Structure 1
Protein backbone atom coordinates (compact mmCIF):
# COMPACT_ATOMS: atom_id res chain seq x y z
CA UNK A 1 0.00 0.00 0.00
CA UNK A 2 1.21 3.47 -0.83
CA UNK A 3 0.29 5.88 1.98
CA UNK A 4 0.90 9.56 1.40
CA UNK A 5 0.23 12.44 3.76
CA UNK A 6 0.71 16.10 2.96
CA UNK A 7 0.22 19.48 4.62
CA UNK A 8 -0.80 22.51 2.54
CA UNK A 9 -0.80 26.06 3.88
CA UNK A 10 -4.09 27.90 3.40
CA UNK A 11 -4.27 31.65 2.97
CA UNK A 12 -6.80 33.56 5.04
CA UNK A 13 -10.39 32.40 4.60
CA UNK A 14 -12.84 35.29 4.17
CA UNK A 15 -16.21 34.74 5.84
CA UNK A 16 -18.25 36.55 3.18
CA UNK A 17 -16.85 34.26 0.46
CA UNK A 18 -17.76 30.94 2.08
CA UNK A 19 -20.61 28.76 0.84
CA UNK A 20 -23.53 28.84 3.26
CA UNK A 21 -25.28 25.58 4.00
CA UNK A 22 -28.50 26.01 6.01
CA UNK A 23 -27.30 29.57 6.68
CA UNK A 24 -24.12 28.21 8.28
CA UNK A 25 -20.74 29.42 6.97
CA UNK A 26 -18.73 27.30 9.40
CA UNK A 27 -19.66 23.85 8.12
CA UNK A 28 -16.34 23.53 6.25
CA UNK A 29 -14.51 23.49 9.60
CA UNK A 30 -16.31 20.25 10.47
CA UNK A 31 -15.87 18.70 7.03
CA UNK A 32 -13.64 16.31 5.18
CA UNK A 33 -13.19 16.80 1.43
CA UNK A 34 -13.29 13.43 -0.26
CA UNK A 35 -12.67 11.77 -3.64
CA UNK A 36 -11.96 8.26 -4.92
CA UNK A 37 -10.22 6.93 -7.99
CA UNK A 38 -11.73 3.54 -8.66
CA UNK A 39 -12.05 0.71 -11.13
CA UNK A 40 -15.46 -0.56 -12.20
CA UNK A 41 -16.07 -3.30 -14.74
CA UNK A 42 -19.77 -4.18 -14.69
CA UNK A 43 -19.44 -4.05 -10.89
CA UNK A 44 -17.01 -2.13 -8.65
CA UNK A 45 -13.68 -3.97 -8.49
CA UNK A 46 -11.54 -1.77 -6.27
CA UNK A 47 -10.78 1.61 -4.81
CA UNK A 48 -7.54 2.55 -6.56
CA UNK A 49 -6.88 5.73 -4.60
CA UNK A 50 -8.66 6.95 -1.50
CA UNK A 51 -8.13 10.69 -1.06
CA UNK A 52 -9.34 13.06 1.63
CA UNK A 53 -8.35 16.26 3.39
CA UNK A 54 -9.53 18.46 6.24
CA UNK A 55 -8.83 22.00 7.36
CA UNK A 56 -7.06 22.73 10.65
CA UNK A 57 -8.10 26.26 11.58
CA UNK A 58 -5.46 26.68 14.31
CA UNK A 59 -2.61 25.77 11.97
CA UNK A 60 -4.26 27.25 8.88
CA UNK A 61 -3.40 24.09 6.93
CA UNK A 62 -5.06 21.36 4.93
CA UNK A 63 -4.05 17.85 5.99
CA UNK A 64 -4.25 15.45 3.06
CA UNK A 65 -4.33 11.65 3.37
CA UNK A 66 -4.14 9.23 0.43
CA UNK A 67 -4.05 5.45 0.11
CA UNK A 68 -3.20 3.74 -3.19
CA UNK A 69 -3.34 0.00 -3.79
CA UNK A 70 -0.34 -1.82 -5.21
CA UNK A 71 -1.90 -5.23 -5.98
CA UNK A 72 -5.13 -7.21 -5.74
CA UNK A 73 -4.29 -8.46 -2.24
CA UNK A 74 -4.82 -4.91 -0.97
CA UNK A 75 -8.36 -4.45 -2.26
CA UNK A 76 -9.78 -5.15 1.20
CA UNK A 77 -6.91 -3.43 3.03
CA UNK A 78 -7.64 -0.06 1.45
CA UNK A 79 -11.28 -0.38 2.48
CA UNK A 80 -10.29 -1.08 6.08
CA UNK A 81 -8.01 1.98 6.05
CA UNK A 82 -10.89 4.05 4.66
CA UNK A 83 -13.20 2.82 7.44
CA UNK A 84 -10.55 3.63 10.04
CA UNK A 85 -10.06 7.11 8.54
CA UNK A 86 -13.77 7.94 8.63
CA UNK A 87 -14.09 6.75 12.23
CA UNK A 88 -10.99 8.65 13.36
CA UNK A 89 -12.08 11.87 11.68
CA UNK A 90 -15.35 11.66 13.57
CA UNK A 91 -14.06 10.58 16.99
CA UNK A 92 -10.74 12.47 17.14
CA UNK A 93 -11.43 15.57 15.06
CA UNK A 94 -15.22 15.92 15.44
CA UNK A 95 -15.85 15.88 11.70
CA UNK A 96 -19.49 15.37 10.77
CA UNK A 97 -19.69 16.35 7.08
CA UNK A 98 -18.29 14.98 3.82
CA UNK A 99 -17.88 17.36 0.87
CA UNK A 100 -17.68 15.81 -2.60
CA UNK A 101 -18.19 16.58 -6.25
CA UNK A 102 -20.71 14.14 -7.73
CA UNK A 103 -20.08 11.99 -4.67
CA UNK A 104 -22.89 9.52 -5.27
CA UNK A 105 -20.64 7.67 -7.72
CA UNK A 106 -17.92 7.26 -5.11
CA UNK A 107 -20.39 6.24 -2.41
CA UNK A 108 -21.93 3.65 -4.72
CA UNK A 109 -18.51 2.09 -5.30
CA UNK A 110 -17.26 2.13 -1.73
CA UNK A 111 -20.57 1.01 -0.23
CA UNK A 112 -20.73 -1.91 -2.67
CA UNK A 113 -17.19 -2.95 -1.73
CA UNK A 114 -17.82 -2.49 2.00
CA UNK A 115 -20.77 -4.85 1.69
CA UNK A 116 -18.81 -7.33 -0.42
CA UNK A 117 -16.01 -7.53 2.15
CA UNK A 118 -18.43 -7.49 5.10
CA UNK A 119 -17.29 -4.13 6.46
CA UNK A 120 -20.27 -2.99 8.50
CA UNK A 121 -19.78 0.74 8.24
CA UNK A 122 -22.30 3.14 6.73
CA UNK A 123 -20.61 6.41 5.79
CA UNK A 124 -23.77 8.43 5.30
CA UNK A 125 -25.22 7.19 8.59
CA UNK A 126 -22.33 9.01 10.27
CA UNK A 127 -21.77 12.05 8.03
CA UNK A 128 -23.86 14.73 6.38
CA UNK A 129 -23.14 15.03 2.67
CA UNK A 130 -22.59 18.24 0.70
CA UNK A 131 -22.22 17.72 -3.05
CA UNK A 132 -20.74 20.82 -4.70
CA UNK A 133 -21.96 19.72 -8.11
CA UNK A 134 -25.54 19.76 -6.82
CA UNK A 135 -25.04 23.08 -5.02
CA UNK A 136 -23.83 24.66 -8.26
CA UNK A 137 -26.57 23.10 -10.33
CA UNK A 138 -29.23 24.47 -7.97
CA UNK A 139 -28.20 27.87 -9.32
CA UNK A 140 -27.31 27.24 -12.98
CA UNK A 141 -29.94 24.54 -13.63
CA UNK A 142 -27.59 22.45 -15.78
CA UNK A 143 -24.77 19.97 -15.28
CA UNK A 144 -21.10 20.79 -14.92
CA UNK A 145 -17.91 18.77 -14.46
CA UNK A 146 -15.31 19.44 -11.80
CA UNK A 147 -12.65 20.67 -14.24
CA UNK A 148 -15.15 23.14 -15.75
CA UNK A 149 -16.11 24.34 -12.28
CA UNK A 150 -12.45 24.84 -11.43
CA UNK A 151 -12.20 27.19 -14.41
CA UNK A 152 -15.10 29.22 -13.05
CA UNK A 153 -13.10 29.58 -9.82
CA UNK A 154 -9.83 30.50 -11.59
CA UNK A 155 -8.18 27.33 -10.28
CA UNK A 156 -5.15 26.25 -12.28
CA UNK A 157 -4.20 22.66 -11.62
CA UNK A 158 -0.65 21.62 -10.97
CA UNK A 159 0.30 18.61 -13.05
CA UNK A 160 -1.60 17.09 -15.93
CA UNK A 161 -5.20 15.97 -16.17
CA UNK A 162 -5.79 12.22 -16.28
CA UNK A 163 -8.81 10.70 -17.98
CA UNK A 164 -10.96 8.41 -15.84
CA UNK A 165 -10.66 5.70 -18.51
CA UNK A 166 -6.87 5.78 -18.22
CA UNK A 167 -7.06 5.45 -14.45
CA UNK A 168 -9.43 2.50 -14.81
CA UNK A 169 -6.99 0.78 -17.20
CA UNK A 170 -4.16 1.35 -14.75
CA UNK A 171 -6.02 -0.17 -11.82
CA UNK A 172 -7.17 -3.08 -13.97
CA UNK A 173 -3.49 -3.84 -14.63
CA UNK A 174 -2.68 -3.46 -10.93
CA UNK A 175 -5.30 -6.07 -10.06
CA UNK A 176 -4.26 -8.43 -12.83
CA UNK A 177 -0.47 -8.32 -12.38
CA UNK A 178 1.19 -8.18 -8.94
CA UNK A 179 4.40 -6.88 -10.46
CA UNK A 180 2.79 -4.11 -12.49
CA UNK A 181 3.17 -1.50 -9.77
CA UNK A 182 6.88 -2.36 -9.53
CA UNK A 183 7.33 -1.73 -13.24
CA UNK A 184 5.20 1.40 -13.23
CA UNK A 185 7.36 4.53 -13.46
CA UNK A 186 7.45 6.44 -10.19
CA UNK A 187 6.50 9.55 -12.15
CA UNK A 188 3.22 7.91 -13.17
CA UNK A 189 2.40 7.00 -9.57
CA UNK A 190 3.14 10.56 -8.48
CA UNK A 191 0.94 11.94 -11.28
CA UNK A 192 -1.98 9.78 -10.12
CA UNK A 193 -1.55 10.82 -6.50
CA UNK A 194 -1.14 14.46 -7.46
CA UNK A 195 -4.28 14.31 -9.61
CA UNK A 196 -6.30 12.89 -6.72
CA UNK A 197 -4.82 15.37 -4.23
CA UNK A 198 -5.80 18.25 -6.52
CA UNK A 199 -9.35 16.88 -6.60
CA UNK A 200 -9.79 17.02 -2.82
CA UNK A 201 -7.82 20.23 -2.22
CA UNK A 202 -9.72 22.06 -4.96
CA UNK A 203 -13.02 21.06 -3.35
CA UNK A 204 -11.93 22.98 -0.27
CA UNK A 205 -10.92 26.05 -2.29
CA UNK A 206 -14.19 26.05 -4.22
CA UNK A 207 -16.15 25.78 -0.98
CA UNK A 208 -14.45 28.66 0.85
CA UNK A 209 -14.38 30.94 -2.22
CA UNK A 210 -17.94 30.24 -3.36
CA UNK A 211 -19.40 33.73 -3.02
CA UNK A 212 -16.30 35.34 -4.45
CA UNK A 213 -17.16 33.84 -7.83
CA UNK A 214 -20.85 32.98 -7.66
CA UNK A 215 -23.95 34.77 -6.53
CA UNK A 216 -27.58 34.01 -7.16
CA UNK A 217 -29.57 36.82 -8.76
CA UNK A 218 -33.18 36.19 -9.69
CA UNK A 219 -32.48 32.50 -10.06
CA UNK A 220 -29.58 33.07 -12.47
CA UNK A 221 -25.89 32.67 -11.91
CA UNK A 222 -23.58 35.62 -11.91
CA UNK A 223 -19.91 34.80 -12.30
CA UNK A 224 -17.62 37.43 -10.89
CA UNK A 225 -14.66 38.24 -13.15
Structure 2
Protein backbone atom coordinates (compact mmCIF):
# COMPACT_ATOMS: atom_id res chain seq x y z
CA UNK A 1 0.00 0.00 0.00
CA UNK A 2 1.24 3.45 -0.84
CA UNK A 3 0.42 5.98 1.87
CA UNK A 4 1.11 9.57 0.97
CA UNK A 5 0.56 12.64 3.11
CA UNK A 6 1.23 16.18 2.01
CA UNK A 7 0.87 19.67 3.48
CA UNK A 8 0.15 22.46 1.03
CA UNK A 9 0.29 26.21 1.45
CA UNK A 10 -2.83 28.13 0.47
CA UNK A 11 -3.62 31.71 -0.42
CA UNK A 12 -5.30 33.99 2.09
CA UNK A 13 -9.02 33.20 2.30
CA UNK A 14 -11.52 36.01 1.81
CA UNK A 15 -14.63 34.84 3.65
CA UNK A 16 -16.83 36.94 1.34
CA UNK A 17 -15.79 34.64 -1.51
CA UNK A 18 -16.50 31.38 0.31
CA UNK A 19 -19.50 29.27 -0.66
CA UNK A 20 -22.23 29.65 1.96
CA UNK A 21 -24.26 26.52 2.71
CA UNK A 22 -27.18 26.81 5.11
CA UNK A 23 -26.30 30.54 5.35
CA UNK A 24 -22.89 29.66 6.77
CA UNK A 25 -19.69 30.47 4.88
CA UNK A 26 -17.33 28.99 7.49
CA UNK A 27 -18.15 25.34 6.89
CA UNK A 28 -14.95 24.81 4.91
CA UNK A 29 -13.23 24.62 8.32
CA UNK A 30 -15.47 21.70 9.28
CA UNK A 31 -15.24 19.83 5.97
CA UNK A 32 -13.20 17.16 4.27
CA UNK A 33 -12.75 17.20 0.49
CA UNK A 34 -13.03 13.74 -1.06
CA UNK A 35 -12.40 11.87 -4.33
CA UNK A 36 -11.80 8.25 -5.35
CA UNK A 37 -10.15 6.56 -8.28
CA UNK A 38 -11.80 3.17 -8.70
CA UNK A 39 -12.42 0.21 -10.95
CA UNK A 40 -15.95 -0.86 -11.84
CA UNK A 41 -16.90 -3.64 -14.24
CA UNK A 42 -20.66 -4.30 -14.04
CA UNK A 43 -20.24 -3.81 -10.30
CA UNK A 44 -17.54 -2.12 -8.16
CA UNK A 45 -14.32 -4.12 -8.00
CA UNK A 46 -11.95 -1.93 -5.99
CA UNK A 47 -10.93 1.48 -4.75
CA UNK A 48 -7.62 2.18 -6.46
CA UNK A 49 -6.84 5.51 -4.82
CA UNK A 50 -8.52 7.09 -1.81
CA UNK A 51 -7.93 10.84 -1.58
CA UNK A 52 -9.01 13.39 1.01
CA UNK A 53 -7.87 16.73 2.34
CA UNK A 54 -8.91 19.18 5.02
CA UNK A 55 -7.98 22.68 6.11
CA UNK A 56 -5.81 22.91 9.23
CA UNK A 57 -6.57 26.33 10.70
CA UNK A 58 -3.61 26.27 13.11
CA UNK A 59 -1.06 25.49 10.40
CA UNK A 60 -3.03 27.41 7.75
CA UNK A 61 -2.38 24.55 5.36
CA UNK A 62 -4.23 21.88 3.45
CA UNK A 63 -3.49 18.40 4.81
CA UNK A 64 -3.77 15.82 2.04
CA UNK A 65 -3.96 12.06 2.64
CA UNK A 66 -3.89 9.38 -0.08
CA UNK A 67 -3.91 5.58 -0.09
CA UNK A 68 -3.16 3.57 -3.24
CA UNK A 69 -3.37 -0.21 -3.61
CA UNK A 70 -0.50 -2.21 -5.04
CA UNK A 71 -2.27 -5.60 -5.38
CA UNK A 72 -5.59 -7.41 -5.03
CA UNK A 73 -4.96 -8.34 -1.38
CA UNK A 74 -4.96 -4.66 -0.42
CA UNK A 75 -8.49 -4.18 -1.77
CA UNK A 76 -9.98 -4.62 1.71
CA UNK A 77 -7.09 -2.89 3.50
CA UNK A 78 -7.76 0.38 1.70
CA UNK A 79 -11.41 0.21 2.78
CA UNK A 80 -10.43 -0.26 6.43
CA UNK A 81 -8.00 2.65 6.16
CA UNK A 82 -10.70 4.81 4.60
CA UNK A 83 -13.13 3.91 7.39
CA UNK A 84 -10.50 4.80 10.00
CA UNK A 85 -9.76 8.11 8.23
CA UNK A 86 -13.42 9.11 8.28
CA UNK A 87 -13.77 8.19 11.96
CA UNK A 88 -10.66 10.16 12.92
CA UNK A 89 -11.86 13.19 10.94
CA UNK A 90 -15.21 13.08 12.69
CA UNK A 91 -14.18 12.15 16.23
CA UNK A 92 -10.77 13.85 16.58
CA UNK A 93 -11.09 16.81 14.23
CA UNK A 94 -14.85 17.37 14.53
CA UNK A 95 -15.43 17.39 10.76
CA UNK A 96 -19.12 17.43 9.83
CA UNK A 97 -19.23 17.90 6.03
CA UNK A 98 -17.87 16.03 3.05
CA UNK A 99 -17.35 18.00 -0.16
CA UNK A 100 -17.27 16.33 -3.57
CA UNK A 101 -17.88 17.04 -7.22
CA UNK A 102 -20.69 14.71 -8.33
CA UNK A 103 -19.73 12.39 -5.49
CA UNK A 104 -22.74 10.06 -5.51
CA UNK A 105 -20.89 7.67 -7.81
CA UNK A 106 -17.91 7.49 -5.44
CA UNK A 107 -20.25 6.96 -2.49
CA UNK A 108 -22.05 4.16 -4.34
CA UNK A 109 -18.75 2.44 -5.10
CA UNK A 110 -17.24 2.66 -1.64
CA UNK A 111 -20.47 1.83 0.21
CA UNK A 112 -20.95 -1.23 -2.02
CA UNK A 113 -17.38 -2.36 -1.30
CA UNK A 114 -17.80 -1.64 2.42
CA UNK A 115 -20.86 -3.89 2.44
CA UNK A 116 -19.16 -6.64 0.40
CA UNK A 117 -16.19 -6.68 2.77
CA UNK A 118 -18.08 -6.51 6.06
CA UNK A 119 -17.16 -2.90 6.84
CA UNK A 120 -20.14 -1.48 8.70
CA UNK A 121 -19.76 2.19 7.87
CA UNK A 122 -21.86 4.60 5.84
CA UNK A 123 -20.26 7.93 4.95
CA UNK A 124 -23.50 9.85 4.42
CA UNK A 125 -24.82 8.80 7.81
CA UNK A 126 -21.83 10.52 9.42
CA UNK A 127 -21.18 13.54 7.16
CA UNK A 128 -23.44 16.04 5.44
CA UNK A 129 -22.74 16.01 1.71
CA UNK A 130 -21.97 19.21 -0.21
CA UNK A 131 -21.83 18.52 -3.95
CA UNK A 132 -20.19 21.37 -5.88
CA UNK A 133 -21.70 20.22 -9.16
CA UNK A 134 -25.17 20.47 -7.63
CA UNK A 135 -24.37 23.87 -6.06
CA UNK A 136 -23.23 25.14 -9.47
CA UNK A 137 -26.37 23.92 -11.21
CA UNK A 138 -28.58 25.56 -8.56
CA UNK A 139 -27.13 28.95 -9.44
CA UNK A 140 -26.18 28.75 -13.12
CA UNK A 141 -28.94 26.34 -14.27
CA UNK A 142 -26.45 24.51 -16.49
CA UNK A 143 -24.47 21.31 -16.17
CA UNK A 144 -20.69 21.42 -15.86
CA UNK A 145 -17.75 19.01 -15.53
CA UNK A 146 -14.99 19.40 -12.98
CA UNK A 147 -12.30 20.26 -15.52
CA UNK A 148 -14.57 22.89 -17.10
CA UNK A 149 -15.30 24.33 -13.66
CA UNK A 150 -11.58 24.50 -12.90
CA UNK A 151 -11.11 26.60 -16.04
CA UNK A 152 -13.88 28.96 -14.90
CA UNK A 153 -11.98 29.33 -11.61
CA UNK A 154 -8.64 29.96 -13.37
CA UNK A 155 -7.20 26.74 -11.94
CA UNK A 156 -4.37 25.27 -14.00
CA UNK A 157 -3.48 21.67 -13.31
CA UNK A 158 0.09 20.44 -13.20
CA UNK A 159 0.86 17.39 -15.30
CA UNK A 160 -1.37 15.66 -17.79
CA UNK A 161 -5.04 14.79 -17.42
CA UNK A 162 -5.82 11.10 -17.06
CA UNK A 163 -9.01 9.61 -18.47
CA UNK A 164 -11.15 7.67 -16.02
CA UNK A 165 -11.17 4.72 -18.43
CA UNK A 166 -7.36 4.58 -18.34
CA UNK A 167 -7.35 4.61 -14.54
CA UNK A 168 -9.92 1.80 -14.52
CA UNK A 169 -7.75 -0.28 -16.87
CA UNK A 170 -4.74 0.28 -14.62
CA UNK A 171 -6.53 -0.93 -11.49
CA UNK A 172 -8.07 -3.83 -13.38
CA UNK A 173 -4.50 -4.99 -14.14
CA UNK A 174 -3.45 -4.39 -10.52
CA UNK A 175 -6.33 -6.59 -9.30
CA UNK A 176 -5.65 -9.30 -11.89
CA UNK A 177 -1.85 -9.50 -11.79
CA UNK A 178 -0.09 -9.40 -8.41
CA UNK A 179 3.18 -8.43 -10.10
CA UNK A 180 1.77 -5.69 -12.31
CA UNK A 181 2.34 -2.85 -9.86
CA UNK A 182 6.02 -3.71 -9.46
CA UNK A 183 6.39 -3.40 -13.23
CA UNK A 184 4.66 -0.02 -13.42
CA UNK A 185 7.00 2.92 -14.04
CA UNK A 186 7.40 5.07 -10.95
CA UNK A 187 6.42 8.08 -13.07
CA UNK A 188 3.02 6.51 -13.80
CA UNK A 189 2.34 5.95 -10.10
CA UNK A 190 3.27 9.55 -9.34
CA UNK A 191 1.02 10.83 -12.15
CA UNK A 192 -1.96 8.93 -10.75
CA UNK A 193 -1.34 10.23 -7.23
CA UNK A 194 -0.81 13.77 -8.50
CA UNK A 195 -4.02 13.60 -10.53
CA UNK A 196 -6.05 12.47 -7.50
CA UNK A 197 -4.39 15.01 -5.21
CA UNK A 198 -5.31 17.83 -7.56
CA UNK A 199 -8.89 16.56 -7.68
CA UNK A 200 -9.33 16.95 -3.91
CA UNK A 201 -7.20 20.09 -3.52
CA UNK A 202 -9.04 21.86 -6.35
CA UNK A 203 -12.35 21.14 -4.63
CA UNK A 204 -11.08 23.19 -1.70
CA UNK A 205 -9.91 26.07 -3.91
CA UNK A 206 -13.23 26.17 -5.76
CA UNK A 207 -15.12 26.12 -2.47
CA UNK A 208 -13.28 29.05 -0.89
CA UNK A 209 -13.27 31.18 -4.08
CA UNK A 210 -16.86 30.39 -5.02
CA UNK A 211 -18.53 33.79 -4.99
CA UNK A 212 -15.64 35.54 -6.72
CA UNK A 213 -16.07 33.44 -9.86
CA UNK A 214 -19.71 32.39 -9.71
CA UNK A 215 -20.92 35.99 -9.36
CA UNK A 216 -18.76 36.99 -12.33
CA UNK A 217 -20.15 34.07 -14.37
CA UNK A 218 -23.72 34.91 -13.38
CA UNK A 219 -23.25 38.53 -14.53
CA UNK A 220 -21.79 37.29 -17.83
CA UNK A 221 -24.75 34.98 -18.42
CA UNK A 222 -27.23 37.73 -17.56
CA UNK A 223 -25.50 40.03 -20.05
CA UNK A 224 -25.60 37.34 -22.75
CA UNK A 225 -29.29 36.73 -22.07
CA UNK A 226 -29.98 40.47 -22.20
CA UNK A 227 -28.22 40.75 -25.57
CA UNK A 228 -30.17 37.77 -26.93
CA UNK A 229 -33.43 39.29 -25.72
CA UNK A 230 -32.57 42.62 -27.38
CA UNK A 231 -31.77 40.81 -30.63
CA UNK A 232 -35.12 38.99 -30.49
CA UNK A 233 -36.97 42.28 -29.91
CA UNK A 234 -35.12 43.86 -32.84
CA UNK A 235 -36.03 40.95 -35.10
CA UNK A 236 -39.67 41.25 -34.01
CA UNK A 237 -39.72 44.97 -34.77
CA UNK A 238 -38.21 44.35 -38.23
CA UNK A 239 -40.83 41.68 -38.93
CA UNK A 240 -43.63 44.00 -37.78
CA UNK A 241 -42.35 46.87 -39.95
CA UNK A 242 -42.11 44.54 -42.93
CA UNK A 243 -45.71 43.45 -42.46
CA UNK A 244 -46.85 47.09 -42.11
CA UNK A 245 -45.06 48.02 -45.35
CA UNK A 246 -46.75 45.17 -47.22
Same fold (TM over 0.5): yes
Name the CA distance, whole Å, in 1 between partners of 2:63 and 2:83: 18
Higher helix share: 2
Measure, in 1, the Cα distance between the counterparts of 2:178 and 2:69. 11
Contact kept, 8 Å, 1:7 with 1:64, in 2: the verdict is: yes
Q: Matches of residues 204-219 of structure 1 in structure 2 within 5 Å?
A: 204-215=204-215
* Structure label with greater radius of gyration: 2
The alignment status of 1:150 with 2:150, answered yes or no, reads yes
Distance 1:136 1:175, change over 3 A: same
| Runs of 4+ with deviation above 4 angstroms | none
2:68 corresponds to 1:68: yes
For 1:222, the equivalent position in structure 2 comes to: 219
TM-score by length of 1: 0.96
**1:39/1:171 contact within 8 Å kept:** yes
- Cα RMSD of the aligned pairs, angstroms, is 1.2
Matched, 1:89 2:101: no
Contact 1:49 1:68 in 2 (8 A): yes
Give how far 1:223 is off: 5.4
TM-score normalised by the chain length of structure 2: 0.88
Deviations 1:154-206 (A, max 9, x none): 00001110000000000000001011000000000000000000000000000
Using the alignment, how far apart are the partners of 1:166 and 1:140 within structure 2? 31
3-state SS in 1 of match to 2:218:
strand
Give the gaps of 5 or more residues in structure 1.
none
Per-residue CA shift, 1:15-74, capped at 9, x if unaligned? 111000011011000000000000000000000000000001121100000000000001
Q: Which runs of 5+ in 2 are unaligned?
A: 222-246
Name the structure 2 match of 1:106: 106
Q: How do 1:118-197 residues align onto structure 2 when only pairs under 5 Å count?
A: 118-197=118-197
What is the CA-CA distance between 1:141 and the residue it aligns to?
1.5
Higher strand share: 1
**Structure 1 residues 118-154: Cα deviation after superposition (integer angstroms, max 9, x where no partner):** 1101111110000000000111212111000000000
